[in-house]
A and B are shown apart, each in its own frame.
Chain A
């Protein structure tokens, strides 16, 4: 044995567990407006500082500052606010519906609403997103019918996916929302393939794919980034870093060693690290990456730095593995409160109008839930059983015909 310390197996541990004091002091937060904005045609090797910083636009007073300010029309900001608020209120209502036994399962995107809302509005109708289960705000921003969403969540007779998939794992082709699978990470490569197809056809469509921080560990994520780089696919590959993967903090996905955006460097892709709770920053970074993709400069990786403010799903109790008050210490705040503050700061909004909007959306949700309940909730109503045998292949084979007969349907 050499006269050196023995090897030790390292196992990461989060900064705080239940009962420990919470501190986010270890997180570097540059001032809003401090990060430079390169030209969208800039060479990747000239922007390797960006994966290690944090693009922010909204400052603590709610002012939009710096080169990334997208200078949006207030009407667009209000559209975003509305989509985010709708997502928040709808999530709360559906979570309660689960407690009441009306659905089998639910997942919220609380604290992450700026991502789906901004990106849905930046990208065009012909573009395709390859979402995760925390992207309802994308659909809300595009006015996806609330009742369809409720019906899928209740797995009732009017479920638009005919009972074949879990609540929340939606598919909405007409809304640029690719089918969600329960398997993590398996659609990152689909986004790249979709984008490659658009390039092959000489179209102008781009794809935007998503994974969570935890999911970056899946092999498919790295395969997708290799293909994106090799073929300069017109794609945006997003990593929503909400710092938790069920009970595992992001250290188990490699965050102790580097940032998620910095993964891009090894593939020769530009990596942007963005304040995911800042609607304007998300907007601006996405717009930059979309412009770059549409002008044949290939894929950008965007890390959206945020915090999963609630439990993983209806099956989870986060107080079992992280301090109960951790969420309230998150220094980058609540994306809805920050956009609201900005709108007020620019004189386009006030508390009274905000309250009125909350009341209006609450009523819209109430009406949709009532209509869904009238069709039926989990176990009380379901789609026609014949759908079980449909859509396996384009045409059924003898097994499906025989088994349908055996069931007498």
Chain B
């Protein structure tokens, strides 16, 4: 963890929105070539308030609204990036990245390679993603796998305020295009996948103690959330909290790894853990079929085959479009993770 000691003396409890806002604030202050744009991010400060007050503080041209054109947002960000700026753009919901998919896949991800290093696009694309807010089909999806498949894009997914800030600064300072997916259900507090339980805030959570100044959390480094010996659980985003709650419910001695970024992937941490436990459960919110869990499962099988005591298992959303009224039937909560954990141990 690279701490900029001069600036990190004061630490404050922040929710994820405040931590992200602080990352953007620090980045705008640190580098005049960093700028922010996206739908409703300017005067209003974004529909989730992540860019709140930044226009007021840094001026109209450092944080501004855009036309409603995701393809246009990403295309102009790439052009600015090629010129030498560091655009940080917001796509209002990850579900609405798709009109920009061609720009991300055919342009952002390929510019450096096809120009043999003459041009590159150091852009960061922030976007709230995931379910749990009754947002229906187009405010709930988890599209990480469609980015992970594209060589040339990095994909980062924080699970708490401290990581969110440090990872976002690292993403902004990274010279490659980064997709930064923010689990919107975690914005205001950790969520354990139990919709009927009392809503929690980040107050009191150790990872909500966030330095005010600049620091980075490196891309491609997983975090061990809970050490254990009997089964490795791989998760990211909201599912880190859901999986932890499920593990606690079973009392199983599981090791929980928060991947934090899926590209680059901390393959060493995964392999070391699975070689220790001999078992692996992968949990994600996205639909299971061809989800990122498929890649993780294959990697674990290829690299830990002789250490595995049971089949690698996956728990994910059902293979349906995100169904509005059936949110909690669809969502892979503890009631689906607990039996999968037990099954890992029973084999």
Contacts and interface: CB of A to CB of B under 8 A. Distances in A.
Contacts of A254: 67
Interface residues of B, number: 38
B95 interface: yes
B119 interface: no
A183 B67 contact: no
Given A215-B68, A399-B289, A182 B136 contact: yes
B318 A321 contact: no
Interface in A124-166: 155, 159, 162-166
Contacts, number: 122
B305 interface: no
Contacts of A105: 134, 136
A32 interface: no
A136 B61 CA distance: 38
B72 interface: yes
Interface residues of A, number: 48
A360 interface: no
A123 B67 CA distance: 31
A247 interface: yes
Given A163-B323, A164-B325, A182-B136, A252 B72 contact: no
Contact of B68 (A159, A162, A217): A217
Contacts of A320: 44
A313 to B, nearest CB: 10
A219 B61 contact: no
Task: Tell me what chain B mostly uses at the interface: helix, strand, loop, or mixed.
Answer: loop
Given A219-B69, A400-B320, A407 B329 contact: yes
A284 B161 CA distance: 56
B209 interface: no
Interface in B125-163: 134-139
Interface stretch (A230-238, A263-271, A383-391): A383-391
Nearest to A317: B44
Interface in A355-392: 378, 382-383, 385, 387-389, 392
Nearest to A8: B61
Task: Tell me what chain A mostly uses at the interface: helix, strand, loop, or mixed.
Answer: loop
Nearest to B37: A11
B294 interface: no
A317 to B, nearest CB: 10
A105 B136 CA distance: 10
B326 A388 contact: yes
Given A163-B325, A219-B99, A399-B319, A246 B136 contact: no
A385 B329 contact: yes
Contacts of A392: 319-321
Given A182-B139, A183-B138, A248-B39, A164 B99 contact: no
B40 A248 contact: yes
Interface of A: 9, 11, 13, 17, 104-105, 155, 159, 162-166, 169, 181-186, 214-215, 217-220, 245-248, 252-254, 315, 320-321, 378, 382-383, 385, 387-389, 392, 399-400, 403, 407
Given A11-B65, A184-B68, A217-B69, 12 more contacts: A183-B98, A214-B67, A215-B68, A219-B69, A246-B39, A247-B43, A248-B39, A248-B42, A248-B68, A378-B134, A388-B320, A388-B329
Q: Which 9 A-B pairs have the closest CB atoms?
A: A163-B325, A182-B138, A217-B67, A247-B44, A166-B136, A104-B134, A217-B69, A155-B325, A388-B326
15 contacts: A11-B61, A104-B136, A105-B134, A183-B95, A217-B67, A217-B69, A218-B70, A246-B39, A246-B47, A248-B44, A252-B66, A321-B43, A382-B326, A392-B320, A400-B320
